Structures are given as structure tokens and as C-alpha cells.
Structure 1
């Protein structure tokens, strides 16, 4: 790389982007990153320096075109601003490159309500007719069912989800992810398997053909309305702790009078906790003394906890009126830890907020159950992004 710069009469600080090979291996990635840092990590650099691994996602031919993806500096600035608005520290995905003649398989992983932020679909609504048509369809269907409007939450960057009801927030989240699936399908990209975490299980069931679009909007809207009717709104809160379930249980056990309980097992090193607002804040202060990251989640309910038990009976009655079809593609349940395959008998499969959501804590022990879709050497557990957009 240094020789190439010399031949081109360029300084390292003149380069702002490097396309990396992205092998997905511990040795290869470290060696490559170190080499790039040694050559381009100039202390006198005045412009940002970025690296990318497009090839790992869309192949060598796509990587060659990376240099031509931006038509103008102004467009680049706008796109970088959009990326910064939508970026979070937990949205990191490690992938393995395909080798030989066998094609890789794509899985879609759908997130929960915690990923919502104002204007999260505005850019694609402006640039993709397929995405916008899908959003408009969801909005019309939800309106016909009597649910409150939520389109502004998808389009307006200035809106905060906390100013909207749970019904509006969850329907907006559903709509954006349904539209994203439609967008990728229009690009010829379809999943070989789907998986959803928490609220994301509904979208996974829709993409797999288990539930219709009308049914997931109906179920999500009805579920959210039941939650809103809980008298404990605002009394409970949730905390995300960067620690294992065992560690978090030990922290909770040290406070025997606390109402806190483990609610979500998001990964081996990320655990969600529900409890009374007072107890959650006290636990958060204690956890910080252990040098653990522990953001308070932007929700007004104790999701995934026994606090929502009063909604179960009525919700199950509602769900029993919906038709569940056999999946058209494999569906991995993060709640059940199992894989439903095409041809499996159709059965009611409704995510329940009162059961801890567990997102594949051990890939090695789940290889048989999940049909070899995951490789623990190159794939780490996905995490729901609970933090509000910053």
C-alpha cells in the first residue's frame, strides 16, 4: 500500500476510504486492519478515514463499484449524515465470506421496539417507490382497523418516540421492517431463514408466510392497546446491562427487596431487566459502580416481565381468531430456541411479553436445532438495539 501511494504521488492523509478484504477470520482481519492502520494512521490527518467490506456482502464485482457509488460531494455529505443519524454501537454484524462454488445463505433478523427513532424511514420513503408503497399500504390497513396514525413517526426526524403511544410506536416499527423486507425483495434479495427478537418475531412470521400483513398489524396493534390499558404505565422501567444473566442475577440478589427481575437474555453478555422505576434506578447506580454499561431503555412498561400477565388471557383470545399458516421458509424462534421448517404443521405462534426473550445464547449447542445456519466461529449473537437513537 505504501508503494502504491508513492507511485501515485499521494500522501496517506489524501486517502479517505479503503475497501478491505474482510475475511471474517481472527488472524486475517487483525493482520489486514493493522497494515491499514500502519499506512494510513497519519497523526497529521485532517479528514476522516473510513474502511469498508462491501465484498463480504455483495461480492467482488460490487466492491469494484464502491468508488462510483456517490455522484457528488453533496450527496456524500447527506448520506454520511443519514448514516450517523441511524448508527448505533450495537449494530455490528460479523459475517463469513463464502468460498468455493457454494452460495451463501441469507438470514433476515428483525429487531424490536427499542430500535425505533423519529424519521427512521424518511430517506427510503423519498428514494424507493417500493418502500414507500409498502409503508402506505400498512398505514391504510392500520387506519381501517381503527388504530391511531403513526406515519409522522416514520417520516419526521424531529419526533421522539416517547411522545407517541405504544400502539403508534410499535405499528411504526412493524411498518418500517415490513417495508424493508419488500425493498430487499424488489432488489432480488430474499432470505433463506428469518428470525425476530421480541416484537421482531411478528415480522419474521409475516416474511415466512405464517401470518398475513393484515394479521400482524392487527395482532401488534391489539397487543399494544392492551399494554396501554395496564394501570402500571410509567411505574415500571427497563434497564440494559452489559453482563451475563448469572452476573445480573447476582446483582439483583444483593437487593432482596427489589422488584427487579431478568426480562430478556439478548446475548451472553447483554441482559435486560424490568422493575419499578425506583428500583431500576437504584440498580443502575449500583451496576455503574461495577464499571458495566447500563443504559435505561426508552419504554414506559416492564416488557417481558410478569407485570403484563393481566393482558395474556384477552390477547390469547384475540390471537386465536387469526390464521397461522405453515412457514414457507425456516423460522427461528428466539423465544423457543427452535426452528420451524416448511411443511411443519401450522400452529398458533404468538410472541408473549411475559416470557424472557432469549436470543441464541449458545450457537454451538444449537447447530442441530437451527439447521447449521449459524457458525459460532464467525457469527456472534445478534442483540436487540434497545438504546434510543442519538
Structure 2
């Protein structure tokens, strides 16, 4: 192949659309022929921009590529029918989209670095969050993300939580800069902070104040209890909690077959052993505290005092609460709500069911690595609801993961901001190569006939 970008570089989103399946197939073959010819190819970014902006329709294909060689391979696979496609009727009805903000558990060493280097909107937003982290907690989240693993303090709860909330807010800002806006938001435990800000109920300053001050208070109960994740259905988990005499409580109901229990370490250790003997998955969650249990009661008054200056406003986007499992007014997200968020069980399964019942079908997890897609899928399948479940970043492939999910969103009817994805401005007019590709796509392609032995 003779042309630029033959080696791997920054990933780009290649996307094309057409008004019929036949035209889309012809268009894909025309691109494949063009790339195989390899003459006078522009930069990969230019090629992807012009391909996306030169076509329209509900029959769509999109995927992330880092080189022309990879683009050729992907086109070959699509043309051969080897890749899964979103049906055209999905793009036509453009299903409602939910941003799902994760709690703890998505963290990994090196998170955020790739997007910090590659995406100005992500970088700017993260630094804006960082200024408030410095004000309220006295450390730099951006600095922590760049430190070697042995010297970073991300194992400390009051460092980890503000950093994770900052990352989530920056990811949401990046999605919006690409033209992806949610129809609703939901957050799991700590994730409700970023969800409330994204919904418009909390200023950035107030969101970071909650993340910093509440996580600092949580240090006081470190070592006083533990959390365990189990495959017990919610009803069975509640029965276990009732039989414990108060030593164990249900901390979260993530799906019809995934729950979190909180309690004293000895009681949970005994329960893990018992469930293992019954061949039921259960493990202690390391590096956290017994939130959503009676251990947080001692923080109630201090948390109210720490957050008394909050001034929440009405949401611009509906926020489904994992405290009540219903839409929550933004004005209700004052200090008392954040104590309920910390003390009461996380009702993710019920909130997911409510979102699905309201017609939401596309769920994008906003986190450094997906941890909620499995329970979301379990809940949707249990209630026989359709759904497309997408990650934001993934461990060690942040940029490609987001672009791949953006491609799936495009196939589901979303319209990205192509100018934001490919800075430098749109083409002034249809380029000669693009016109040739579209013209070739409209010409009938010979159908191969089967040979007779």
C-alpha cells in the first residue's frame, strides 16, 4: 500500500451510512477498492472525516482504526459478514441513552493518562476538577494519576474517590464534546456525585466538595467493617441479613443475581465460607470500607455540617436515583441525600428496571474500566428488555475503547460532532475521491455465481 498512515498511530473512527443495505454494501466495497489501490490517500484522519460526513442514512457501519492497514482488514471483515451489526431499524428510532456512573472498583494504575495526552476537552475538564481537589483535599488528582504505582496514594480512599469522580466528570465532558448527550443518568454509590453534576443539579465545585469531604470522613470508619460481593439474589441476600441479627446488611442490589453485603469482618468471613460450601460465589472486597451499613451512622452529623453549603438546582437531564430507584429532583440533592446515598442500599437493579421501563435501551458506563455492564445486562435480560451496553474507557486502551463505543452509538442513531472528532475543519466541498467512492457505490456490483462441479 502506497500512502500515509500505513503504520499504527492514534485511533480514528471510520463511519459510513446509506439509505439501504445494498447501497451500504456497495459503499463499503468502494472504500475497500480505494484503499487497496492506495493512490493519493490523504491522512487517515482526513479520510475518516470525509467518509463520515459524505454519507447519511440508517444503515450504518463504524469502527475504530489506527492505520490504513487496519482499516482494510476491518472493511474486509464487514464485507465478508464477519462482524456483528446493529439493525438499521435501531438507528431509525434512535433509542434513549443513559450514562451510568460506576462506584469504586473500576480503578487501575495508568488510568486517564492516554486521554490526558490525546483529548484536550478531557484534559481541560480534569484540570478544572483538580483545582477543586487541591482546594478541598490538599492534593492533586492529576499528579496522582501520573505517579509510579509504588508512590501513588490511590490505595487511600480519600485520594481514590475524588480522583475517580474527576475522571468520570472528564469522561462525560468528552462524550458531550463529541456530540453524545444522555437522555438520563444514573450513578452507583459514589458514582451518583458525577451523575448529579452531569445532570446539571450540582456545580463542579459542589460535586468535588462532596467527593473530597465525604471520602475524608470515611477514613474514620476504615477497619470497622467490610464489604462482600455475592451471587445471591436480592431476596436471599435480605434473608441472610435478617438472620444475622444485625451483623450483616444488604449494601447493594446490582442485578437479580448480584448483591453486595456489608458487616463486621468476622461475620462476613464466616458467610464467605458458608456460601463457598454451597458453591455460591462470594468474596470480600478489598481496599474499601463498610459503606451502606450501620458503621456510617457515626458520620451523619459531621457529613451534614461538611455539606451544609450545598445549593443543588433542578436537573437539566433526568437523574434516576439508586437510593429511591426513581427519578430524583435535582433540588433534593442536598446534604441529607448524600447521607442516604452513603447509608442506604444501592438499588442499581431497580433503577435499571425503571430506566428500561421508561424506554431507555442504550447504556454507556462512564468509568475508567467497565464494572457494571454485566449486572446491567443481567437485569435487562431478566426483565426481557432490549439493550446495548457500552463501556467508556477500558484498561490500557482508553482512546480506542471510547471511539469503538462511539461507533456503536452512531449505529444506534446518534450523530457525532465530526468536526470535534477530526479537528481542522470540514471539507469545503465534496472531495474528488469521495465523489468517486459514492458514485462507485451507486453502480451495481456483479454478483458472483456458484461454480458447478
TM-score band by shorter chain is: 0.5 to 0.7
Distance in 2 of aligned mates of 1:191 and 1:325: 18
How far off is 1:105 after superposition? 1.9
Q: Which residue number corresponds to residue 253 of structure 2?
A: 265
Q: Contact conserved, 2:326 with 2:351, CA < 8 A, in 1?
A: no
Q: Contact conserved, 1:120 with 1:157, CA < 8 A, in 2?
A: no
Taking structure 2 as the reference length, what is the TM-score of the superposition? Answer: 0.58
Structure 2 residue 327 is matched with structure 1 residue 336: no
Change (3 A) 1:156 1:96: farther
Q: Which of 297, 313, 316 is the aligned partner of 1:309?
A: 297
Distance in 2 of aligned mates of 1:205 and 1:379: 26
Q: Contact conserved, 2:161 with 2:211, CA < 8 A, in 1?
A: yes
Q: Contact conserved, 1:118 with 1:156, CA < 8 A, in 2?
A: no
Q: Is the partner of 2:260 in helix, strand or coil? A: strand
Q: Which residue number corresponds to residue 65 of structure 2?
A: 69
Structure 2 residue 230 is matched with structure 1 residue 241: yes
Structure 2 residue 273 is matched with structure 1 residue 277: no
Per-residue displacement from partner, 1:17-66 (whole Å, max 9, x unpaired)?
xxxxxxxxxxxxxxxxxxxxxxxxxxxxxxxxxxxxxxxxx975443xx3
Structure 1: where are the runs of 5+ without partners?
Answer: 1-57, 75-94, 383-387
Q: Contact conserved, 1:170 with 1:221, CA < 8 A, in 2?
A: yes
Per-residue displacement from partner, 1:241-288 (whole Å, max 9, x unpaired)?
01112222444566x467222211111211111122222222111111
Q: Is the partner of 2:163 in helix, strand or coil? A: helix
Q: Which residue number corresponds to residue 360 of structure 2?
A: 373
Distance in 1 of aligned mates of 2:106 and 2:277: 27
Taking structure 1 as the reference length, what is the TM-score of the superposition? Answer: 0.67
Change (3 A) 1:226 1:346: closer
1:129-144 pair list within 5 angstroms:
129-144=120-135
How far off is 1:115 after superposition? 1.8
Change (3 A) 1:284 1:180: same
* Structure showing greater relative contact order (alpha-carbon pairs closer than 8 Å, 6 or more residues apart): 2
Q: Is the partner of 2:284 in helix, strand or coil? A: coil
Change (3 A) 1:345 1:131: closer
Q: Which residue number corresponds to residue 39 of structure 1?
A: none
* Aligned positions, number: 299
Q: Contact conserved, 1:264 with 1:357, CA < 8 A, in 2?
A: yes
Q: Contact conserved, 1:238 with 1:299, CA < 8 A, in 2?
A: no
Distance in 1 of aligned mates of 2:222 and 2:283: 20
Larger helix percent: 2
Distance in 2 of aligned mates of 1:345 and 1:216: 14
How far off is 1:109 after superposition? 0.5
How far off is 1:73 after superposition? 8.3
The two structures, once aligned, show a CA RMSD in angstroms of: 3.5
How far off is 1:154 after superposition? 2.8
Q: Is the partner of 1:360 in helix, strand or coil? A: helix
Change (3 A) 1:381 1:197: farther
Distance in 1 of aligned mates of 2:60 and 2:237: 46
